[in-house]
Structures are given as C-alpha cells and as structure tokens.
C-alpha cells in the first residue's frame, strides 16, 4: 500500500525527533538506568518498524501494482459524514470551553442528529425531544446523583 | 477453598454489587445486540462510571457487561442475520435460518441457554485454575515479572490480524504513550513539552474511550444507514425453555467440547470469543453424524457457537485474575478499572484482595443467571433496540464519551485526549493497524519498564532472564506466541494451495 510508505516515513521522523528529546532528561545516577533508557529502546524499535513498513510496501508493490486511482474527492465524499462529525465534535469541545457542558451539549446533539438524520424536517421534533431530554438527564444525574461537576463555561 | 468461595459470595451478595451486576448485564446485552457496537466499547463506556463505585461494584458491572455482551450478540444475529458482535458470527449460520423457518423465539432461547451452560462450565474452570496459577506466580522476582510482561506483549503477534508489523507498531505506540509523564523510578518528567496536561501522562480512560468507543462510532457513520433489508418482520418470539434445555442436554458432547474450546481459547492471550465461536462450530460440524445439515437451521450449530463464546469469558479471566495479563480487550479494560481504584493487577491480587478476586468469580457465575433471565423476559424489547437509528445513537454516545473522559479527573485536557485518540484510532483502523495492541502497550508498558530496569539494576547479568526457570518458561511461551501466528498463516497458505 502506498499509504504504508507515508506512514513509515512519518514514524521514522517521529521516532528520530522523540529520540533526540530523551537527551534532555537528567543523566543516569550511579547504578541506575536513566529515565531515557526505556524510551530510547522504544523509539529505536518504532523507527525500525517504520523502515520495515516502507520496505514492505515496495515488496508488495512488486507483487501487486499500486492502486493508482486514488481520488481525494471520492475519498472526501465517501467519508463526508465522518469528517463532518469530527469537525462538529471539535467545535463542541471548543464551545464547551466557553458555553459550559449544558448549552454546548444541547447545541451539539441537535446539530449532529440533524446532519445525520435522513428525513430532516420530519425527525426534527424527535431530535429536539431526545437532545433536550438526554442532555438534562446526564447533566443533573452527574451533578446531583454522582456529585461530579461537568465543565462550566467562561460565558455561562 | 470453601471459605474463599464464601468470602466471594459475601462480597457480591450485597445490594449494590448485585444491582450493578444486574444493570451491567442489561447494558452488555444492549451493546451486544446492536450491530456495530462491541462488548469492548460497552466496557470502555462503563469504565468512567465505575470510578464512583467501590472496586467490587465496578468489577461486578464490568462482569455483567462481559457476560451480557457475549450472549447479546446472538439477538441481531438470529433476527437480522447480522451478528451483534464478532463473537456471534457462527450463531448466524444456523440461528438465522432457524428464525426464517418461524422459530426465532426458540432459536434465541436455545442461544441463551447454550450461553448459560457454556459460561457456567468456564466459571468452574476459572474457580479451580486461577488460584493455583496465582500462587505459583508469587515466587516471581523482577526477571520473572519482566518475562511475564514480555509474554503478555507477544499477544500482539496474535492480535495483529493481517500484518504483524502493524500490530507491533500499534503496541509500540501504546508503550510510548505510557512513557509520557513522570518516570516510574526516578520521577523525572518525560515528553511533557511544557504542556501542563501532559505532565500527568495520558489518562488511561480517555485514551481507551477514544480508541474503542469514539473511533468505532465514527466508523459506523461510513455505512450511513444500517441495513434492515434482511429483517424478519414480526418474528415468532414464542419459545419453550424446558424443550430447549432438553435439546442442549441431548448433546452433551457438543456442549462440553464447545465450552472447553471456548475456555481454552479464552486463556490463550490474544485469542478471543470472535475465534472460539467459529472454531467450535467447525468442530461441532466435523464431529457430527449429519454435517450436511449444518447451516440449515439446526440447534447443534447454535449450541456450539453460543456455549463457546460465553466460555471464552471465563477462560480470559483466568490469566487476568491470576497473573494480571489480560487475555483480550475487555479483560484489559477490567484490569484498567482495578488500576483506577489504586489496585495493581498481578499475582499478588489474590493474596491481597481475596474477597475481590473470589467476588469477581462469583459475579461471573451469577451474571449468567441474570443474563438468562433478562434475555428471556426482555427479548421483544431488545428486538426493538436493534432497530434504533444511528442518527440518534451516535450523538448520544459521543456525549457519554465526553462526560466519561472528563468526569474521572475533572480535567478538560482529558476531553482533548479523547478527541485526539479517537482520530488516531479511526485512522489506525482505516489503515489496517489493530487497536488492542496499543491498549496492551499502555497497560503493560509501565510494568515492563519498571521490572526491566529493576532487574538490570539488581544485576547487570542478562543471562538471569534465561537461567531462572520460570522466567525462561515465560520467554519460551513468548517465543511460541510470536511464532504460532506464522505457523497458522503457513498452514492456511498450504491449504489454499491445495
């Protein structure tokens, strides 16, 4: 797979960078192995595994030609709902920082359910009922029953 | 032994542990019966809730999810022909044809009782084999511990699926993620990059929920609409329990063989219920006088598959409880729950917390009674659940993921960890990297590092790993565990060539 080659390169760069970070740890005391000992082994192995992935992709390439017809547009289309959901979750987390759990969750639930539902207008009443119900149930059960505080916003 | 069993019963027969076990079982059946949702995901979502409970209560809830989930997968398998979890794949082969013949209720009832008896057989194995294994492990020094952990890590080889290298990379990423934060021996801060949240390391919980629940949810969205074409409309849900139990007992060899296969596969690290149900179905077919009837809707297939998958649960608990080595993702999460309660899993567990260990074993027994009761009385309700639309489920569960990640330490940073590991998990799955090795790496990483460094600091003589007999046994097992998947692939290749 062509993707394996890129992942291999990313892994090698990542391991090399992280390996250099281990030099910042204080040196080992007499008779002890320093804090960098174990991570160094891991990053070396990860780098080698990344190299293995690259070599493997070339061997596979010989056996079976690379898939040529990769189209970003098709991939984006196929994963549009997934990408949209990730973006909405990102916005949700940022919004929670400002609006707090209650309002951000309400907004997030209604908007994601709306985007995912096939019959949008027809499902709207159900979406609103479930979103409001579930948000308030979670909020109050955590706050009152379990006495666990949920994120409070800067604004509210 | 009897006094320890009584101690376990005393732990579990209290109002709260019983309530949590009961609701855990229901939750397990729910995640089990919804196609696309796995038992692992259910356990991951439950984990944050266990934090507010006592350790036995939390573990009881987890056991409930495990038992309920292993058995619940058959519901959608039999009714829609889509297994709710990979552990019920073989149940579909005969369960779905049986339902199409108008015997959906009986097929489900048969599955429930087969799960019940399979689980109970493995519970006895758990009761008799876990304690001696743990007492043997008490003589361990750092060398044995490191070799044990190394053996645990080689599970990665059998968890890797298609590519061993990708499994290894996933495991290494887990080990690396575990090194972030304070060094376990010197306390030096590692890889925090000046970010306050990173100085405490990655919390196990948001990582787990991100990898297993969040990424799984996103994968579900690729399919847009769950297929309901094959749904049997208005299935005949009437059943007769005594008749089905008689059917099971008319095939004692099938039941015992399948349960033993299930339990044995469960003990093997890395191999889980997704393998055992197919393997025992295959064995049942090979050992049958009428193999040609398999796949046409005969009880034998359902008995083999369902008794094996629940037996795997008991088998997986043996190394988890005795040695602290998780056999699969769900037991890994269970050990994670112990860690959250400040209890270090390992051979000392049974000595330090005998009530807890025997309580878990007794909970495993009891959960099967709950599972059978809940499924038989609530079948029509669970049937409705298998039809819940994704657009309602996904956003609701995302919110649970967020709450779960935050609640444990009240750290906003953990929500970001959830998000990032969710994306990582999704991408890893897309590119064929298995996720369980990563979790294994995070759990076993600190143990591996601590014991390796301790062993090397005590004596720089590396040969001690090989000359101490128990350590050597684990290293040999590790080697076998690495080589076995290669042997399997070689054999598969040969069969294909023929």
Give the pTM. Answer: 0.75
Position A66 pLDDT exceeds 60: no
Distance of residue A61 Cα from the nearest chain B Cα, in angstroms = 16
- For tokens 């007992």, name the residue: B249
Nearest to A25 among B188, B389, B426 (CB): B188
Contact A86 B392 (CB under 8 A): no
3-state secondary structure of B181: strand
pLDDT tens per residue across all 498 residues of chain B:
788 889 888 888 999 999 999 999 999 998 888 776 778 888 888 888 887 788 899 999 999 999 999 998 898 888 877 777 878 888 988 998 898 888 888 999 999 999 999 999 999 999 988 888 777 777 777 888 788 778 777 767 666 666 788 988 998 999 999 999 888 878 888 888 888 888 888 887 788 888 878 887 888 787 655 444 445 556 677 888 888 899 999 999 999 999 998 998 888 765 677 778 888 888 888 888 888 888 888 999 999 999 999 999 999 898 888 888 877 778 888 888 888 888 888 888 888 888 899 999 999 999 999 999 999 888 878 777 766 787 888 888 888 888 878 877 788 899 999 999 999 999 998 898 988 788 778 877 887 888 888 888 787 788 888 888 888 988 888 888 778 777 777 776 776 666
Q: What 3-state class would DSSP assign to B133?
A: helix
The backbone region for B60, taken as left when phi is positive above 0, alpha when psi lies in -120 to 50, beta otherwise, is alpha
**A78 contacts chain B (CB < 8 A):** yes
Cα B408 vs. chain centroid, distance in angstroms? Answer: 22
When CB atoms are compared, the residue of A11, A33, A79 closest to B169 is: A11
User: What is the rounded distance in angstroms from the CA atom of residue B308 to the CA atom of residue B265?
Assistant: 9
Taking alpha carbons only, the member of B9, B90, B94 closest to residue B56 is: B9
Task: Return the SS3 of B28.
Answer: helix
Closest chain B residue to the Cα of A151, Cα to Cα:
B412
Cα(B257)–Cα(B117) distance, integer angstroms: 12
pLDDT at B200: 83
Confidence at residue A86, expressed as pLDDT on a 0 to 100 scale: 92
Contacts of B410 in chain A (CB under 8 A): 148-149
**What does each C-alpha distance from B306 to B206, B260, B278, B366 come to in angstroms?**
32, 12, 10, 18
In this prediction, residue B229 carries a pLDDT of 42
The per-type count for chain B, helices as H runs and strands as E runs, is 23, 2
By Cβ distance, the residue of B390, B419, B452 closest to A90 is: B419
Q: How far apart are CA B409 and CA B26, in angstroms?
A: 27
* Nearest neighbour of A82 by CB, restricted to B166, B185, B218: B218
Q: Give mean pLDDT, residues A62-68.
A: 58
B460–chain A Cβ distance below 8 A for any pair: no
Q: Does B406 touch chain A (CB under 8 A)?
A: yes
Structure tokens at A88: 């909405």
Is the CB of B180 inside 8 Å of chain A's CB atoms? no
Q: Number of residue pairs across A and B with CB atoms under 8 Å? A: 145
Q: How many angstroms separate the CA atoms of B223 and B244, rounded?
A: 36
What is the Cα–Cα distance from B386 to B34, expressed in whole angstroms? 5
Contact A38 B412 (CB under 8 A): no
Which residues, other chains included, contact B422 with Cβ-Cβ below 8 Å and sequence gap of 6+?
Answer: A86, A89, B210, B211, B214, B215, B218, B401
Q: Would you say B333 and B442 are in contact if contact means Cβ atoms under 8 Å apart?
A: no
Query: Cα separations (Å) of B14 from B5, B17, B21, B84, B302?
Result: 15, 6, 11, 32, 35
Q: Does A42 reach chain B within 8 Å, measured CB to CB?
A: yes
CA distance B469 to B472: 5
Q: Left, alpha or beta for B188 (phi > 0: left; psi -120 to 50: alpha)?
A: beta
DSSP H or E segment with residue B335: helix B329-340
Do residue B398 and residue A112 have CB atoms under 8 angstroms apart? yes
**Distance separating alpha carbons of residues B238 and A74, to the nearest angstrom:** 47
Any A CB within 8 A of B381 CB: no
What average pLDDT is seen over chain A?
84
Q: How far apart are CA A113 and CA A104, in angstroms?
A: 14
Determine how many CB atoms are found less than 10 A away from the CB of residue A25: 19
**Taking a C-beta distance cutoff of 8 angstroms, is the pair B184, B319 a contact?**
no
């Amino acid at each position: 797979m062509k993707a394996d080659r890129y992942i291999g390169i990313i892994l090698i760069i990542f391991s090399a960078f992280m390996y250099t970070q281990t030099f910042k740890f204080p040196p080992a005391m007499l008779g002890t192995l320093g804090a960098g000992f174990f991570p160094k082994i891991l990053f070396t192995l990860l780098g080698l595994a990344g190299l293995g992935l690259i070599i493997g992709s070339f061997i596979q390439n010989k056996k079976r030609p690379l898939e040529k017809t990769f189209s970003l547009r098709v991939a984006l289309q196929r994963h549009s709902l997934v990408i949209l959901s990730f973006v909405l979750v990102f916005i949700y987390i940022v919004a929670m920082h400002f609006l707090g759990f209650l309002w951000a969750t309400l907004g997030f639930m209604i908007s994601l359910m709306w985007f995912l539902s096939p019959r949008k207008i027809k499902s709207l009443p159900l979406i609103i009922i479930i979103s409001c119900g579930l948000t308030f149930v979670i909020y109050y059960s955590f706050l009152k029953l379990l006495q666990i505080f949920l994120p409070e916003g800067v604004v509210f | 032994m009897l006094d320890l069993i009584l101690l376990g019963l005393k732990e579990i027969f209290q109002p709260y542990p019983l309530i949590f076990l009961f609701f855990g079982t229901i939750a397990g059946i729910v995640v089990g019966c919804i196609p696309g949702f796995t038992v692992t995901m259910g356990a991951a979502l439950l984990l944050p809730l266990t934090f507010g409970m006592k350790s036995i209560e939390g573990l009881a809830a987890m056991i409930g999810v495990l038992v309920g989930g292993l058995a619940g997968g058959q519901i959608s398998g039999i009714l829609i022909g889509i297994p709710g979890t990979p552990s019920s794949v073989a149940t579909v082969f005969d369960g779905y044809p049986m339902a199409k013949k108008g015997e959906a209720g009986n097929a489900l009832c048969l599955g429930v009782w087969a799960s019940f008896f399979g689980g109970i057989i493995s519970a006895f194995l758990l009761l008799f084999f876990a304690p001696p294994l743990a007492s043997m492990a008490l003589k361990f020094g750092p060398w044995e511990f490191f070799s044990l952990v190394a053996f645990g890590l080689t599970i990665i080889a059998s968890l890797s699926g298609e590519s061993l290298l990708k499994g290894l990379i996933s495991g290494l990423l887990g080990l690396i993620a575990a090194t972030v934060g304070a060094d376990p021996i010197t306390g030096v801060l590692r890889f925090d990059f000046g970010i306050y949240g990173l100085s405490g390391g990655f919390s196990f919980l948001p990582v787990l929920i991100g990898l297993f629940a969040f990424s799984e949810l996103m994968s579900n969205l690729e399919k847009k609409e769950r297929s309901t074409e094959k749904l049997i409309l208005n299935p005949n849900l009437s059943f007769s329990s005594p008749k089905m139990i008689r059917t099971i007992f008319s095939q004692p060899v099938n039941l015992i063989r399948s349960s033993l296969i299930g339990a044995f596969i469960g003990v093997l690290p890395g191999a889980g219920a997704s393998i055992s149900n197919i393997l025992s179905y295959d064995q049942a077919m090979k050992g049958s006088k009428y193999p040609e009837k398999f796949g046409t809707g005969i009880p034998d297939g359902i008995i083999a598959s369902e008794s094996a998958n629940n037996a795997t649960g008991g088998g997986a608990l043996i190394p988890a409880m005795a040695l602290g080595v998780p056999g699969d993702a769900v037991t890994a999460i269970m050990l994670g729950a112990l860690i959250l309660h400040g209890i270090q899993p390992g051979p000392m567990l049974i000595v330090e917390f005998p009530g807890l260990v025997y309580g878990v074993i007794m909970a495993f027994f009891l959960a099967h009674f709950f599972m059978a009761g809940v499924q038989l009385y609530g079948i029509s309700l669970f049937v409705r659940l298998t039809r819940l639309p994704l657009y309602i489920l996904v956003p609701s569960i995302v919110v649970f993921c967020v709450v779960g990640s935050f609640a444990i330490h009240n750290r906003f940073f953990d929500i970001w960890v959830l998000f990032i590991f969710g994306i990582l998990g999704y991408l890893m799955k897309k590119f064929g990297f298995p996720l369980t090795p990563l979790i294994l790496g995070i759990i076993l990483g600190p143990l591996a590092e601590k014991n390796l460094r301790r062993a090397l600091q005590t004596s720089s003589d590396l040969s001690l790993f090989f000359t101490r007999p128990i350590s050597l046994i684990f290293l040999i097992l590790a080697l076998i565990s690495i080589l076995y998947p290669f042997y399997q692939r070689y054999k598969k290749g040969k069969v294909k060539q023929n």
